[in-house]
């Protein structure tokens, strides 16, 4: 694993550096493999990044978008990660609808939805059960409790190591999420983290010894590159 930590002066610089890094990975992926695959994160931090990507002139037909996790709500629900990304980015550009691979949430059964998305991913990447295909970029956020995707502290999702997709749980509400081994299979995992409220969890995530189940972001140890992009408030003590 190749780990890089960068602390940027403010959120504007954080967005600019995140954009620069993603565009670099995009150029490399399209040059080498003819396409770029990216898994998006939810939350408030990436929204200005998505807006910045939308302002770029890019080969949209070669870009394939996935989500690392999703709340179990309809895609037009205000809490939907898909809705946020569509409004900030995807609805603003000429990306083919077939290139957008949203997580299904209308089955009424989170486990069935997780299985459906996993099968969809296996078909897209032409992978077999038990294989973990490599996304070009897995974009990650981190909560002030140390969670990433919908891998929350001390939940059953942290124990799933033989699947791409599983059901996460946040205060009794189901979510669909990448498993940590699937995130770790990405060529580049990029954490984008902002805010002073993240400092206590970051200290534990970066500590030589701490409990992975209490701070699930510690489980993200990809086979490729690991990038931590932090604003000054988040990274002050690192």
- Each residue of 13-34: pLDDT tens digit? 999 999 999 999 999 999 999 9
Asked if pLDDT for residue 12 goes beyond 90, the answer is: yes
Reading the block at residue 102, the tokens are 């949203």
CA 237 from centroid of its chain's CA atoms: 24
Count Cα atoms within 13 angstroms, Cβ side, for 169: 10
Alpha-carbon gap, residue 217 to 232, rounded angstroms: 19
- Each residue of 132-164: pLDDT tens digit? 999 999 999 999 999 999 999 999 999 999 999
pTM exceeds 0.95, yes or no: yes
Residue whose pair of structure tokens reads 């974009």 in the numeric block: 139
- Each residue of 59-115: pLDDT tens digit? 999 999 999 999 999 999 999 999 999 999 999 999 999 999 999 999 899 999 999
Alpha-carbon gap, residue 182 to 130, rounded angstroms: 10
């Amino acid at each position: 694993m190749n780990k890089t930590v960068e602390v940027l002066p403010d959120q504007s610089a954080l967005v600019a550096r995140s954009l620069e890094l993603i565009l670099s990975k995009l150029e490399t992926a399209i040059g080498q493999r003819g396409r770029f695959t990216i898994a998006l994160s939810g939350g408030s931090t990436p929204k200005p990044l998505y807006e910045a990507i939308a302002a770029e002139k890019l080969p949209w037909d070669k870009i394939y978008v996935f989500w690392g996790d999703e709340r179990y709500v309809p895609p037009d629900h205000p809490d939907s990660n898909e809705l946020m990304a569509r409004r900030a980015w995807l609805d603003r550009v000429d990306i083919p609808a077939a290139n957008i691979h949203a997580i299904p949430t209308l089955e009424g059964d989170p486990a069935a939805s997780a299985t459906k998305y996993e099968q969809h991913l296996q078909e897209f990447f032409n992978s077999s059960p038990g294989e973990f295909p490599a996304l070009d970029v897995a974009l990650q956020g981190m909560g002030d409790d140390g969670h990433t995707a919908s891998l929350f502290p001390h939940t059953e999702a942290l124990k799933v190591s033989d699947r791409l997709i599983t059901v996460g749980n946040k205060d009794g509400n189901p979510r669909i999420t990448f498993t940590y081994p699937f995130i770790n299979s990405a060529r580049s995992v990029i954490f984008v983290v902002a805010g002073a409220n993240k400092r206590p969890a970051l200290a534990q995530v970066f500590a030589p010894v701490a409990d992975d189940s209490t701070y699930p972001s510690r489980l993200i140890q990809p086979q490729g590159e690991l990038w931590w992009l932090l604003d000054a408030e988040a990274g002050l003590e690192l």
